[in-house]
Structure 1
Amino acid sequence: MPPKLAFLKPVSNVLLSLPIAIFLTNTFYSPAWVTGPSMSPTLSTRADTSSPSSDKRTQRDLVLLSHFNAHNEASRGEIISFISPLDPERVLVKRVVGVEGDLLLEGRRGRVVEVPKGYVWVEGDGRRWSRDSREFGPVSRGLITGRVAGILYPFNRMGKVEEYEGWRRNLVSRVEERRLRMRFE
């Protein structure tokens, strides 16, 4: 390449790399900021008290979402992102607490719910602040956009998401499930 056109090489590299980066981001992984307290304490939206910065990004976790086959692979206990059934413009992040066929005790109304085929039941770890399946019902697997693969930021929390056992509280035990099914059949 002539010296006058040497500056075009980095530009052409960027232009060639951009479509590949967009494809990979949309198909496999993408970063996402967590907002709101509904997934606290697992995913934090509180200010980092060790940081003097007032930058709003220090108050939230940046997570890595895996998009590859997310709607089929989402299983009990995983944190997922999905399109809100109430507002298709919003993407929510919640934990899967039930999959098709599971019976759950729905705490707000005190009723037993069976998760239908092709759906998951999601709840926020911070139940007090969470708008979730207890409000809008089961979520179609077709609305699932990703699974939380880990935390990217803040750096002191970087890595795999810590297990939160509280999600099991509404899942009906197999013994109790048999008893309930016999009662309702």
Structure 2
Amino acid sequence: MEQTKNEKQALWEWSKAIVITLGIALLIRYFLFAPIVVDGASMNPTLENGDRMIVNKIGYEVGEPDRFDIVVFHASEKENYIKRVIGLPGDRVDYKDDQLFINGQVQPEPFLDSFKAEITGGKLTGDFTLEEITQMTVIPEGYVFVMGDNRRKSTDSRIIGLISIEEIIGSTSVVFWPPNEMGLVK
């Protein structure tokens, strides 16, 4: 009789521990961090198709995106995109002769250096101005301009327009799979 009572008590304690653990895991998964799989080549060479990453969902609840952050956002009801923040609210964005200009000043993009070195016969990024793409001279409050690192094969703000900061799920900089790609990306 005593053993049955102890077994029931142990079962109850294990059940509570499992429920609490599952609850914490769900909270982390849905509110703090989430896994995402890179789908496509738009962020090559920084990210490869099939890379698995961790998305930090809480960073923009307390702050704003920074230039060159890699973000995940809702592109449609069924699809999320991974791109790099290029322009912030209040910025004028121009591209000329494969150089990024923010508010008239050249901005280095060191994450593109190796990719640009591989390209022969042409530019990685075609010339454009923010006004040509959006009919706006500056990015309005609450929006960002995003681009994929593989500028020739990226559906980004040049095509889909400015991205509402409210649509950004979070930032990502950690690849956890495949093991040979594991680590931080910039």
Q: Normalising by structure 1, what TM-score?
A: 0.70
1:26 maps onto 2:30 in alignment: yes
1:82 maps onto 2:73 in alignment: yes
Secondary structure of the residue aligned to 1:32 is: strand
Within 2, Cα distance between the matches of 1:118 and 1:112?
Answer: 16
1:64 aligned partner: 54
1:133 maps onto 2:157 in alignment: yes
Within 1, Cα distance between the matches of 2:34 and 2:19?
Answer: 20
Q: Normalising by structure 2, what TM-score?
A: 0.70
Which one has a bigger Cα radius of gyration?
A: 2
Q: Could you tell me how far 1:159 is from its partner in structure 2?
A: 1.5
The one of the two structures with greater contact order (alpha-carbon pairs below 8 A, sep at least 6) is 2
What is the number of equivalent residue pairs in this alignment? 146
Identity of aligned residues (%): 32
Q: Deviations over 1:85-116 (max 9, x none)?
A: xx222111100011011111266673343211
Within 2, Cα distance between the matches of 1:149 and 1:21?
Answer: 21
Q: Which runs of 5+ in 1 are unaligned?
A: 46-59, 164-185
Alignment of structure 1 residues 30-69 onto 2, 5 Å: 30-45=34-49, 60-69=50-59
Q: Could you tell me how far 1:127 is from its partner in structure 2?
A: 1.7
Is the CA contact (8 Å cut-off) linking 2:59 and 2:171 kept in structure 1? no
1:174 aligned partner: none
- In angstroms, what is the RMSD of aligned CA positions? 2.1
Within 1, Cα distance between the matches of 2:69 and 2:129?
Answer: 24
